[in-house]
Amino acid sequence: MKQRSSHAALDLFRVAAAVLVVAIHTSPLTSYTQAGDFFLTRILGRVAVPFFFMVSGYFLAQKGWVSTRSFLKKTLALYGGAVLLYLPLNWYQGGFSPWEWVRRLLVEGTLYHLWYFPALVVGVLLAKGLLRLKLPLALTGAALLYLVGLGGDSYYGLAVQIPGLKALYDGVFQLFSHTRNGLFFAPLFLLLGAVGISLRPAVAAAGLASSFAAMTAEAFLLRSFGVQRHDSMYLFLPLCMVFLFSLLLSANSGENRTGRRLSALIYLLHPWCIVLVRGGAKVLRLNGLLIENSLFHFAAVLTLSCLLSALILLPRRPRKDARAWREIDIGALETNAKALRSVLSPGCRLMAVVKADAYGHGAVPVARALQRQGIREFAVACLAEGVALRRAGIRGTILILGYTDPTEAPLLFRYRLTQAVADLSHAQALSARKLPLHVHVAVDTGLHRLGVDAGDHEQLARLYRLRHLRVDGTFSHLSDCDSLCKEDMERTRSQLEQFQEAVDALRFMGCRPGKVHIQSSYAVWNLPPQRCDYARIGIALYGVYSSSSAVYHPLALQPVLSLKSRVASVRTLDAGEWAGYGKVFQTRRETRLATVSIGYADGLPRDLPQRGGTVLIHGQRCPMVGRMFMDQLLVDVTDCADAAAGDVVTLIGQDGPHCISAERLAVSCGTITNELLSRLGQRLTLIVR
C-alpha cells in the first residue's frame, strides 16, 4: 500500500506557510530592498494565515462539522499552552492591565502571533452558525464581513472618507486592534475551505497567476497612496486563495502528520527564537551579522525554529509499523456502512456491532468513523467495552449484548449504557438496584443462549412492568441465518415468526417493546428487509464474510483490515538442515529463510505453517515453514530474491497482484473469520488510514 504522505500537498504547504509567517515577523529583505521585502512579507506572505483557516474549514467540513467541539477543545488547549509559554516574555515587556489581559486573551492573543487562536475559535463558531443558512447565503454573509474588515485594513484611508464609516471603525478599534480577526477575516476563509472548490489544475494555475498578479498590483497601488492602516486584507486575496487551495487539493492524496506538527511548532516557537537569536547575537558580538543583516537574521531564526521543532518531534515511542500491525482503511469502512444502510427497510437504522475491539479492527476509531457518518447506535459484548467507548467520546446508544452483574448497575447508570436483559431474574436483580436503567429485552427464539422464552408472553410482560427499568428495545438472535439450506431457512423463518408473535403479544398486553431488532449481518445478506427498527451488523461492516459459504444478497463490500509484519532477518541454509522447534521443517535444497516478527502470541494458530499458511513479500507468495514461535515465524523466501530485513510482510491484505483475504486465512486456520479477527492481539499496533 502506498504511503499517503507521499502526496500530502495540504500538509506540506502548511510548512511553507509557517516559513512565510516567520518571514513576516523578521522582514528578510529589508536590508536590501524595501519594495522586495514588501512583496515577500506583505503580499506573498499574506496567503499563509488564510491558508491555515481554509485547511481547518476543509477538514471540519470533511467530517460533517461533527468534530467541531473536539477541534475547538484542542485549539483552546494549544492556545492555553502558548499563553503560558510566552508569559515570561510578557512579564519582561511589562505585562498588561487586568482588562487588557482579558481583551487580549479573548480577541488579540497575548503576543503578536497568538491572535490566530482566538480568531480561529470565533471564526469556526461564526462559520458553523452561518452554515445554518444555505451555503450561498453563508458565503455572502462572510464576504460582507470581510468587506467591512477590508475597510479597516488596507483600504482604511479610503473608507474613513465615507461619512459615518470613521465613527464605525473608531468603535471597532475600541475592542479590536485590527480587523484581521475572527469576526471579519476568519469566517470567509473557513467557509471557502469548507466548500473545497475543485477546478482543473490548468484552470487553477492560470487563475492563481492572474489573481496573484492583480493582488500584487493592488497592494503596491495602495502602498503608493499610503491608505493602509494594516496590510493583511486585500480585495483579490479571497480569489487568490480559492485558486491556490484548488491547486493544492488537486495534488493532495493523503496526509503528512509530521509536516502538520512541524508547521504548528514553527508557528508557535519562532517569536521565542527571535528573542534567542537577538540575545545570542549580543553575547557573541555578532549584531552586524545576525541582527542588522535582515536575511541572516531570518535564516538564523528559521533554522533555530526548525531545530527546536525537530527536537520536540523526535520519536518518544516505537513506530507503529516497526514489528507487526493492523492497518484499518476508514474509507472502506464508510463505504461498507453506506452500502449496508442502502439495503435496509425504510426506517431501519444500522446498529454497529463493535464488540471484541470491533472484531480486531479497533473499537474506538471504528465507532468514531461511523459516528461521523451519522450512526448513533452501537453494540458491545460487555460493560468494559461500553465504558471504553463512552470514555472515548462516543455518543448515542451503546447496547451491551452480554451479561452484566447487577452489582455493576451504578456503572451502567453513570455511563448511560443500555443493558440486555438475560432473563426475568436478571431483570429483577437490575431493578432492585433502584436506578433508572435503560435496557433491551432479549427474547429467546431458539438460540437458547440468553433471553426469555418467546412463547412465555406472561413472563415477558412481567419484565416490562418492573419499576426501575426503562425498556427501550426488544431483540432476539437468529441461530442459522448464515445457511441457505432448506432446513436452516425453515428454522430461521420459524424464529422470525416467534419473535414477531412475541412483540405483537406485548403490544396487545399494553407493553411497549421499544425498538425491535433481530437482523444480523447474515440476516441482511440472506433475508428480505425486515420490519425492524435496527439491524445489528458486525462482520459485514468490516467487508468480510464469516466463511466461504454463499449468501443470497451479496453486496460490494471492501475489506477494512490488513495484517502486516516485517522481515527481521534472512539467512541461507544448505540442503538437509533443520529449522525451528521439533524438527518440523528440513530444507530440501539450498534455502533462503526469512524470520518474520509475528507469532502465535499475536493471535495466529501455532500450526498455521503446517496448514499451508502463506505470506506476501514484494507481491510474491511465500510459504510459512516450520513451527510458529511465540513472537516470530519462518518463511521460505528462496524464490523471492529481493527479500531483505525490514521488508513489509502481508498476512492479510493486498500486495501487488496478489491478495490474502481474511476468509482464506481463516480457512487455513481451521476457523471462521470472526474468531480469527477477534483473536488478533492487542500488542499488534493499530494504524488508521
> What is the per-residue DSSP string for 304-347?
HHHHHHHHHHS--S--TTSSEEEEE-HHHHHHHHHHHHHTSPTT
Q: How remote is the C-alpha of 69 from its chain's centroid? A: 14
Q: Which pLDDT score, from 0 to 100, does residue 55 have?
A: 96
Q: Which residues are known binding-site members?
A: 449, 630
> Which range has the worst mean pLDDT, 313-317, 434-438, 489-493?
313-317
Reported as a pLDDT band with limits 50, 70 and 90, residue 1 is: very low
Q: Which pLDDT score, from 0 to 100, does residue 632 have?
A: 97
Reported as a pLDDT band with limits 50, 70 and 90, residue 5 is: very low
Please choose, from the candidates 401, 462, 469, the residue with its C-alpha nearest in 3D space to the C-alpha of residue 435. Answer: 469
569-589: per-residue pLDDT in tens?
A: 999 999 999 999 999 999 999
Identify whether the C-beta of residue 31 lies closer than 8 Å to the C-beta of residue 294: yes
Q: What is the CA radius of gyration of the chain?
A: 31
The residue-averaged pLDDT of 257-269 equals 94
Residue that is written with C-alpha cell 494504524 in the block: 687
Identify whether the C-beta of residue 373 lies closer than 8 Å to the C-beta of residue 341: no
What's the grid cell of residue 641?
A: 530474491
Q: Is 42 exposed, middle or buried (0-12, 13-18, 19+ CB in 10 A)?
A: buried
What's the grid cell of residue 195?
A: 466548500
111-144: per-residue pLDDT in tens?
A: 999 999 999 999 999 999 999 998 999 999 999 9
Measured at the CA of 42, the angle between CA 38 and CA 45, to 5 degrees, comes to 120
Q: What is the DSSP string of 579-615?
A: ESGGG-EE-SSSEEEEEES--GGGT--TTTGGGT-EE
Cα–Cα distances (Å) from 536 to 294, 378, 387, 411, 516, in that order, read 65, 8, 19, 24, 11
CA distance 140 to 132: 13
| Type of residue at 111 | L
Q: Which string of b and e fits 450-483 if b means at least 16 CB within 10 Å?
A: bbbbbeebeebbebbebeebebbbbbbbbbbbbb
Q: Which stretch of DSSP H or E encloses residue 564?
A: strand 561-573
Question: Any bridge partners for residue 327, and if so which?
Answer: 562, 687
Would you say the C-alpha torsion 83, 87, 89, 92 has a positive or negative sign?
positive
Task: Kindly state the percentage of the chain with pLDDT values over 70.
Answer: 99
594-618: per-residue pLDDT in tens?
A: 999 999 999 999 999 999 999 999 9
CA distance 125 to 75: 13
Identify whether the C-beta of residue 169 lies closer than 8 Å to the C-beta of residue 157: no
| CB atoms near residue 636 (< 10 Å) | 23
Active site (catalytic) residues: 355, 581
Residue that is written with C-alpha cell 506573498 in the block: 44
Question: Any bridge partners for residue 378, and if so which?
Answer: 352, 398
Encode 399-459 in three state secondary structure.
EECCCCCHHHHHHHHHCCCEEEECCHHHHHHHHCCCCCEEEEEEEECCCCCCCEECCCHHH
CA distance 656 to 215: 48
**Ordered structural domains, the chain, with CATH:** 1-17+256-314 (no CATH), 43-255 (no CATH), 326-542 (3.20.20.10), 561-660 (2.40.37.10)
CA distance 489 to 482: 9
CA distance 591 to 573: 5
Please choose, from the candidates 38, 267, 27, the residue with its C-alpha nearest in 3D space to the C-alpha of residue 154. Answer: 38
Which tops the pLDDT comparison, 66 or 410?
Answer: 410
The residue-averaged pLDDT of 546-553 equals 91
Neighbouring C-alpha atoms within 13 Å toward the C-beta of 259: 18
Reported as a pLDDT band with limits 50, 70 and 90, residue 3 is: very low
Identify whether the C-beta of residue 620 lies closer than 8 Å to the C-beta of residue 641: no
Identify whether the C-beta of residue 615 lies closer than 8 Å to the C-beta of residue 653: no
The contacts of residue 468 (CB under 8 Å, 6+ apart) are: 430, 431, 432, 433, 434, 435, 436, 437
> Which range has the worst mean pLDDT, 142-151, 249-258, 466-475?
249-258
456-473: per-residue pLDDT in tens?
A: 999 999 999 999 999 999
Identify whether the C-beta of residue 126 lies closer than 8 Å to the C-beta of residue 165: no
What's the grid cell of residue 495?
A: 424464529
Q: Which pLDDT score, from 0 to 100, does residue 320 have?
A: 87
- pTM reported for the whole predicted model: 0.66
What's the grid cell of residue 65?
A: 462539522
| Type of residue at 450 | L
CA distance 172 to 150: 13
Please choose, from the candidates 529, 69, 152, the residue with its C-alpha nearest in 3D space to the C-alpha of residue 340. Answer: 529
Reported as a pLDDT band with limits 50, 70 and 90, residue 4 is: very low
Q: Which residues are known binding-site members for substrate?
A: 449, 630
Q: Is residue 198 predicted with pLDDT exceeding 50? A: yes
Q: Is 433 exposed, middle or buried (0-12, 13-18, 19+ CB in 10 A)?
A: middle
Identify whether the C-beta of residue 614 lies closer than 8 Å to the C-beta of residue 625: no
